[in-house]
C-alpha cells in the first residue's frame, strides 16, 4: 500500500504518536521506554510553554489503517530571532526500516518548513537542548540513558540517503569511579582551596534542592548563552520551573553539587543514578507500581549519569570543575557506583573532552545532529 501522511489533530491520534515507539522497539534490547506521564505533558501545547513561541506539526505515516511512522516538525521562533536564522527542526522520528515511510515523513516536514519560509532543517532536535538531540551513530551495544535517543543502527544511513549531512557530533564518555582520587586532582584541589575562597555546597536532603533550582538554571542560562551552546534557547522563569518539575522527582541531593563565592552561585553539576532498568521493567508507566520499580533500580544501579553542569565564565580555569568533580566522585564512591556517564559533550569542546581522557574516560557513544538546506 502507498504511504499516507496525516497530521495529529485529536487525542486519539496523539496517543498513537506517543505509544508507537514501543511497538517499533519491542525487540530492541537496549532501547528504553520514555516516561509516558512526561510524554503527555511534553506534547501538550497547554502544558509545554515551548509551544507558545514555536510553530509545530506532528505527523503520522499510515499504510491503510496501520500507523507505521511518526515525526515532529519544530520552528523555534525564539531561537531563530536570537540567532538570526531560518532553521526548522525535525525530531521524534520513529518507524520500522522502511525507506518509503522515512522519505514521506521527512519530505512532509521539509515542505511544511519551506512554506513557513525556512531555509535549513536540522535534526533530530527538540524545542531546546534539554530535549533528546542527535541520532546515535556509535555505541549501539550500550543501553540508552534517560535523556538521549536510542535508534537502530540503520537510521543514520537512511537519513544520509535522504540528503542529510553532519551538522555537529556529540561525544559521551564513560568514566570509572576511582577507588582513590587521582594525584593531579588532589594538587588542583589544594590550589583551589588556597586561592579561591570558593565553597562547595553538599546536599543530603531533597528539600534542600528547591532553593537552588532557580539560581542554578539562571546560571545555566547565562553560561550556555555566553558559550554559544549549539541549539540552546534561553529559558524564562516558567520554563525553568517546568524543567525543575520534570527532573526534581528523580534527583538525588547527594549528586547535586553547587559552588558559591561570597554567597553567589558560580558553578554547578547535576547527576542522577541510572534508573533505566527500572523504567524498562515499568514499561514507562509510573502507575500503579511502576515508580517503585524505578526507585528500586536507582538504588541498585552501579552507574551515575551526569545531566547538566556549568561554570561562570569569569571563574573558568580556576579549578571549579575539579572541586565539583572531587565532590561527585566521593559521593559516587560512598554510594557504591562503579562508572559515570558524562552525557553529551560537543565535538568542538576539545578542552572538556581532553579532560575526560585525562581522567581515564572511554569514548563509548557518539550522537550526530544532521542538517539539510531546504
- pLDDT, one tens digit per residue, over 306-342 is 988 999 999 888 888 888 888 899 899 999 999 999 8
Q: Does 206 lie in the same domain as 73?
A: no
What is the structure's pLDDT at 262? Answer: 87
**Per-position DSSP letters for 167-221, written without gaps between them:** EEEEEEEEEE--SS--HHHHHHHHHHHHH---EEEE--SGGGTGGGHHHHHHHHH
The residue whose grid cell reads 536564522 is 85
Average pLDDT score over residue span 9-30 = 97
Q: Does 294 lie in the same domain as 165?
A: no
Q: Does 49 lie in the same domain as 8?
A: yes
Range of the domain at 264: 178-337
Q: Does 237 lie in the same domain as 158?
A: no
Whole-number Å distance between alpha carbons of 128 and 51: 11
List pLDDT tens digits, range 192-243.
Answer: 777 778 888 989 888 898 888 889 989 998 888 767 788 888 888 888 888 7
Asked if the structure places residue 347 within a domain, the reply is: no
The residue whose grid cell reads 531560518 is 86
List pLDDT tens digits, range 171-196.
Answer: 999 999 988 877 777 777 777 777 77
- How many folded domains does the chain comprise? 2
Q: Does 109 lie in the same domain as 214?
A: no
Whole-number Å distance between alpha carbons of 320 and 153: 38
CATH of the domain at 148: 3.40.630.30
Amino acid at each position: 500500500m502507498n504511504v499516507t501522511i496525516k497530521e495529529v489533530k485529536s487525542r486519539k491520534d496523539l496517543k498513537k504518536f506517543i505509544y508507537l515507539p514501543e511497538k517499533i522497539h519491542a525487540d530492541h534490547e537496549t532501547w528504553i521506554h520514555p516516561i509516558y506521564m512526561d510524554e503527555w505533558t511534553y506534547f501538550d501545547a497547554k502544558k509545554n510553554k515551548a509551544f507558545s513561541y514555536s510553530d509545530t506539526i506532528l505527523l503520522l505515516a499510515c499504510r491503510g489503517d496501520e500507523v507505521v511512522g511518526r515525526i515532529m516538525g519544530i520552528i523555534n521562533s525564539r531561537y531563530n530571532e536570537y540567532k538570526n536564522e531560518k532553521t526548522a527542526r525535525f525530531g521524534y522520528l520513529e518507524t520500522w526500516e522502511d525507506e518509503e515511510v522515512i522519505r514521506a515523513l521527512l519530505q512532509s516536514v521539509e515542505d511544511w518548513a519551506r512554506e513557513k519560509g525556512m531555509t535549513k532543517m536540522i535534526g533530530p532536535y527538540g524545542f531546546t537542548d534539554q530535549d533528546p538531540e542527535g541520532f546515535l551513530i556509535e555505541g549501539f551495544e550500550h543501553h540508552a540513558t534517560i535523556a538521549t535517543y536510542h535508534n537502530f543502527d540503520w537510521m543514520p544511513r537512511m537519513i544520509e540517503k535522504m540528503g542529510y549531512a553532519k551538522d555537529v557530533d556529540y561525544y559521551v564518555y564513560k568514566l570509572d569511579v576511582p577507588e582513590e582520587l587521582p594525584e593531579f586532582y588532589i594538587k588542583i584541589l589544594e590550589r583551589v582551596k588556597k586561592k579561591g575562597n570558593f565553597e562547595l555546597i553538599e546536599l543530603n536532603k531533597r528539600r534542600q534542592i528547591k532553593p537552588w533550582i532557580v539560581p542554578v538554571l539562571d546560571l545555566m542560562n547565562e553560561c550556555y548563552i555566553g558559550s554559544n551552546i549549539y541549539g540552546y534557547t534561553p529559558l524564562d522563569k516558567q520554563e525553568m520551573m517546568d524543567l525543575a518539575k520534570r527532573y526534581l522527582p528523580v534527583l538525588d541531593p547527594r549528586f547535586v553539587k553547587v559552588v558559591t563565592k561570597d554567597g553567589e552561585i558560580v558553578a554547578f553539576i547535576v547527576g542522577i543514578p541510572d534508573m533505566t532498568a527500572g523504567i524498562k521493567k515499568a514499561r514507562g508507566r509510573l502507575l500503579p507500581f511502576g515508580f517503585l520499580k524505578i526507585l528500586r533500580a536507582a538504588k541498585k544501579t552501579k552507574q551515575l549519569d551526569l545531566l547538566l553542569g556549568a561554570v561562570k565564565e569569569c571563574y573558568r580555569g580556576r579549578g571549579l570543575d575539579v572541586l565539583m568533580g572531587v565532590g561527585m566522585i566521593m559521593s559516587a564512591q560512598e554510594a557504591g557506583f562503579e562508572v559515570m556517564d558524562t552525557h553529551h559533550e560537543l565535538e568542538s569542546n576539545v578542552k572538556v573532552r581532553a579532560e575526560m581522557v585525562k581522567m581515564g574516560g572511554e569514548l563509548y557513544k557518539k550522537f550526530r545532529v544532521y542538517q539539510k538546506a531546504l
